[in-house]
Amino acid sequence: MSISTPFIRRPVATTLLSLGLVLLGILAFNILPVASLPRVDFPTISVTAKQAGASPEVMAATVATPLERNLGRIAGVNEITSASSLGTTRITLQFDLNRDINGAARDVQGAINASLASLPSGLQNNPTYRKANPADAPIMILALTSKTLSRGQIYDAADTILGQKLLQIDGVGDVNIGGSAQPAVRVELNPSQLAHYGIGLDAVRSAITSTNANRPKGFVEQKNQLWEVKANDQARQAADFIPLIVSYKNGAAIRISDVAQVQDSILDRHNAGYYADQPAVLMMVFKQPNANVIETIQRIRDTLPTLQQALPSQIEIHTAVDRSKTIQASLREIERTLLIAVMLVIMVVFVFLRNGRATLIPAITVPISLIGTFGLMYASGFSLNNISLMALTIATGFVVDDTIVVLETISRRIEEGLSPMQAAITGAKEVSFTVVSMSISLIAVFVPILLMGGIVGRLFHEFAMTLTYAILISMLVSLTTTPMLCAWWLKSRQIKQMRPELLKIERSETTPISNSEMLLVASDDEYLKQQGLFGRMTLLYKRSLAIALQYKAMTLIIFIFTIGLNVYLYIVVPKGFFPQQDTGVMMGSLVADQNISFDAMNTKLKHDMAVIGKDPAVDHVMGTISGSQMNRANLFLALKPLSERTDHPDQIMARLRKALKYEAGTRFTLRPVQDINVGGRSSDASYQYTLQGDDLNTLRSWTPKIQAALSKLPALTDVSSDQDVKGLETKLIFDHDKMKSLGITQSQVDSTLNDAFGQRQVSTIYNAMNQYHVVMEVAPEYAQTVEALRGIYVQNNAGQSIPLSTFSTWQAANTSLSVNHQGLFAASTITFNLNPGYSLSDATVQINQAMNLLQVPSSVRGSFQGSAKAFQASLSAEPLLILAAIIVIYIVLGILYEDFAHPLTILSTLPSAGLGALIALVLFNMEFSVIALIGILLLIGIVKKNAIMMIDVALTLQRQQKLPPEIAILDASVLRFRPIIMTTLAALFGALPLALGRGDGAELHIPLGVSIVGGLIISQILTLYSTPVMYLYIDQFSRWGRRKLQHIFPAKSLSLKK
């Protein structure tokens, strides 16, 4: 008795089991989390430290280096990078994929604590960390505007109320606020007045610091009462600082108002932000690594109405960017594709069986298998995402294959005259081994994917496991529910009118193929002619196959040519890492001359935003300028929905690049936001090439040369570097002997210069909800040129004011606006996009050739980073992955068939599948990406199923019916022609909606569909002839090998033969 018999004889139990599986799947579908892609984020933590007025070199040397040395000792750190700009250092640590982010955060805090003793005392606060990748794009951008409040007031509300609450939401990693700065009291000094009164800058600072205090004063206790002591010792606004006395001259008080303008302003006036055409404060929300985007954004949405009530009524909140909308749209698109695929494969079954009752069986079993998969997905912690739903769409063709094999066999038994019950029991028993063989060998294809490491392995783990679950459930359903439905649903009918001599031959219970069938397909051409169009197709195939078997050598030559053509096409096909997604959001930068002023950069930003906003594909545009890099503006573009535009991001980028090209001295770059981001360094463009050097000066001299060379490469565009070394600086040269004689120390001079030009935070204003600062500097109108240094006086130890020019000279020079490190070494990163018509593989080859021609010294080393680095890793692993899949399939087939030779026959189908996929990619001008690679791996599983159906029957005829191999393979091929065509077309039509898909998220599944459809078409044409030929050659080789063994080991060979 076979495994199917109890389920066939107990239809109620089988029905209830199937219904239970469906109900569990429906329940799991409703509670499965929804995401764009599987969780593939590297655990990333960013550490930030600030010191107002410090140059990038000072921040790198005194802040970045001590922190890096301690952070670099943490276990599991894959990559450590830092970027130091004016007053700010940000260090990014990226950990192994398996590292727990919370454990890593504890280690980071410990490293920060260990570094505190080595850090300068002038830091505003101790370094802080966030569990977020600064190189990621924000998942949500909120724009805050007001017609009456200043940007400082808006920023204060955003920072105090919104920012703190948003950070408490599960899944939020960081909230960056741009476009303004925290409110502050600014004391802007008049150097001339200070000189007139003989007051030094340090005297003003001391007056502010000593007057503004908020210290505990204790309590006064009476017999029955306790009195708290309070005082007016804290100034809270500009008006409170104006009357403060700085000094006395001739008995008269000199107040701050006599030497400075005091006003309520913001901490850093070199900030600006815009939403569309109006000033705004932008709140950029970043997710934690591996947090679910849709769930996180939904939590933010649920919280916003409450937070809006806590804000001043004059502030409006605009949702400028919401990544969940495009993600949900792409999921709706792939779900629609899945439904279309199911309907198409059912249509294929109906066309071939021409029986409504028979067609209803796969219409029931296919949804059971797919819906049941959701339960196992939920148990495994998976999500509904583009990758897992893509797997289910592909699985449609797989799961119907098992049903087709069982249904077609049972239908044929009924046509012979058996009752539906007997036909179901007999047919299910005959094909049970075939179904199990096809399923297990297909699952074997995914073993190498499951064992892969890195981001590609993590990305496609859910894909492989989802397909595995669907195939296993389909195998069980095909051996239980499908034969049960056939037994109780199909009607008895006898179509074949076999000759009497054929009817006399008895059926063997152990033989999968009956004698009557064997003789029928071998000799009864008249029957095939009577079976309509498909019968005539089968007859045509039978006759053409007989000719191919007669001229085996020609077929073998075609097979060998196919292998060679595969190798050639793999070499020449363009290669990439991951298809570029259209997420509806683009981000980039506007970089001007390094010596541009803040006001000029602000004017340029507003002008260019107006140009960008006029593009027909752009919904709205946002931009910010930060005080740490005043020559750079960050841009965010929200594109219109795909239903309202036809342009791809590459076309939009090219159009905007052309529109802003006239801007002399300005570099404009854009990149589409992607769901997968590799690396921790922020980038202006999509790809990165990092230079590292042992010596900073050597690196700085070679970076522009390499950048210039790469700019000339035809594959690259938007080539830029993060090395900004043309900023203007004033270098002071001190006469130390004279300073000594004047009683002036170096620290006094540095402190005075910081007071004058560093926007020095000299005091703190404490509030119930936040703390604010008092910023002191020379008024902007007195610091417009280098000659402002002549108005600066330094007080010596005797209290005398000495002009700075007395003991120093200065000269103009260039300086760096940022200093970057990677792995403790100085680094410069060159970023680039690809020109249309070029792939990432073209770019990497051209860059490597250019580096060789430049003869760069060994002290300067170049390497790809981010997506380009992941591409190189995946490119080297692709041949090994395919080879591993082939080896695993061979081992599984050898075990199943207890044969060393004929698994090679089944594997001989693979070159034709690869050839079809590569030809399809070339014809449709698509890159060979990791998505296309997965398509080829799936083809390995699909195509070998056809060979299994042939070889399984042929081996049975040879071993049990003692037929010659030529007759056995001919009979097997003709007998299995209909199920082979049916399963192939089912798989093809299952993949066709992916290949023809349009709309949100289609970029991901089109290469998969194209490669599968192309591979199936070519392989179907070739393997119907090459597989029988290879069967004969390998059978001949196997018999030759056995004869050789018999001569060498007669006793053992005889034993093996027995």
Which of the listed residues 792, 815, 838 is the one where a domain comes to its end? Answer: 815
**pLDDT of amino acid 524:** 57
Q: How far apart are CA 845 and CA 860, in angstroms?
A: 19
604 falls within a domain? yes
Beta bridge partners of 275: 278, 622
- Domain shared by 893 and 1041, yes or no: yes
Q: Is residue 439 part of a domain?
A: no
d(CA 894, CA 904): 9
Name the one residue in this structure whose structure tokens are 């064997």: 518
**Within a domain: residue 196?**
yes
Query: Is 116 part of any domain?
Result: yes
Structure tokens at 911: 């070159």
Nearest one of 459, 340, 353, 368 to 406, comparing CA atoms: 353
Mark whether 892 and 991 lie in a shared domain.
yes
CATH assignment at residue 125: 3.30.70.1430
Confidence of residue 222 (pLDDT cuts 50, 70, 90): confident
Segment 990-1000 shows an average pLDDT of: 85
Per-residue pLDDT, averaged over 335-358, amounts to 85
Q: What is the pLDDT of residues 162-197, one digit of tens each?
A: 998 999 999 998 899 988 888 899 999 998 898 888
819, pLDDT greater than 50:
yes
* Of residues 976, 1011, 830, 982, the one with CA closest to residue 430: 976
How far is 601 from 271, CA to CA, in rounded Å?
11
- Tell me the three state secondary structure of residue 1: coil
End-of-domain residue from the set 815, 834, 857? 815
pLDDT number for residue 663:
66
Are 978 and 1050 within one domain?
A: yes
Residue type for 1057, please? K
According to the model, what pLDDT value does residue 22 have? 95
Burial of 1045 (0-12, 13-18, 19+ CB in 10 A): middle
In sequence order, what are the residues at sequence separation of 6 or more whose Cβ sits closer than 8 angstroms to the Cβ of residue 665?
A: 592, 593
Average pLDDT value for residue range 21-26: 95
**Number of domains observed in the structure of the chain:** 4
Residue 204 has a pLDDT of 92
pLDDT at 565: 93
| 689-745: pLDDT as tens digits | 999 988 888 888 899 899 999 999 999 988 988 887 666 778 889 999 999 999 999
Residue 68 confidence (pLDDT) above 90: yes
pTM of the model: 0.80
Same domain as 958, residue 904? yes
pLDDT band for position 801 (50/70/90)?
confident
Residues 911 and 987 in one domain: yes
Whether residues 641 and 771 fall in one domain: no
**145 in any annotated domain:** no
Q: Are residues 657 and 540 in the same domain?
A: no
Rounded to whole angstroms, how far apart are CA atoms 1034 and 951? 12
Mean of pLDDT over the chain: 85
Confidence (pLDDT) at 520 = 41
The domain that contains 778 carries what CATH number? 3.30.2090.10
pLDDT at position 14 over 90: yes
Q: How far is CA 772 from CA 184, 238, 780, 954, in A?
A: 6, 12, 21, 85
Question: How sure is the predictor about 1058, in pLDDT bands with cuts at 50, 70 and 90?
Answer: very low
Query: What confidence score (pLDDT) does residue 757 get?
Result: 87
Q: pLDDT band at 1, cuts 50/70/90?
A: low
What is the span of the domain harbouring residue 659? Answer: 584-672
Q: Is the pLDDT of residue 1040 over 90?
A: no
Question: Are 571 and 607 found together in one domain?
Answer: no
Give yes or no: residues 92 and 210 share one domain.
Answer: no
Indicate if 1040 and 906 belong to the same structural domain: yes
Q: What is the CATH number of the domain that holds 1010?
A: 1.20.1640.10
Count CB atoms within 10 A of the CB of residue 101: 18
Task: Kindly state whether residues 908 and 1030 are assigned to the same domain.
Answer: yes
Q: Please report whether residue 433 resides in a domain.
A: no
Query: What is the SS3 assignment for 286?
Result: strand
Query: What is the structure's pLDDT at 485?
Result: 92
Choose the weakest-confidence range: 143-147, 239-243, 978-982.
Answer: 978-982
Rg for the chain (alpha carbons), in Å? 37
- Contact (CB, 8 A) for 176 and 325: no
Q: Domain for residue 655, yes or no?
A: yes
What pLDDT shows up at residue 684?
78
Contact, 556 vs 1029, CB < 8 A?
yes
User: Token pair for residue 515?
Assistant: 């004698």
Length of the chain (residues) = 1058
pLDDT tens digits, one per residue of 609-628: 999 999 999 999 999 998 77
Cβ–Cβ under 8 Å, residues 648 and 639: no
Q: How many CB atoms lie within 10 A of CB 667?
A: 18
Percent pLDDT > 90 in the chain is: 32
Last residue of a domain, one of 132, 165, 192: 132
Pair (927, 1003) in one structural domain: yes
- The answer to whether 462 touches 382, Cβ cutoff 8 Å, is yes
Closest CA to 402 of 317, 446, 345: 345
Report the relative pairing of strands 716-721 and 801-803 from DSSP bridges. unpaired
The 3-class SS string of 967-989 reads HHHHHHHHHCHHHHHHHHHHHHH
- Does residue 967 form part of some domain? yes
Helix locations, 614-745, DSSP H: 649-659, 696-711, 736-742
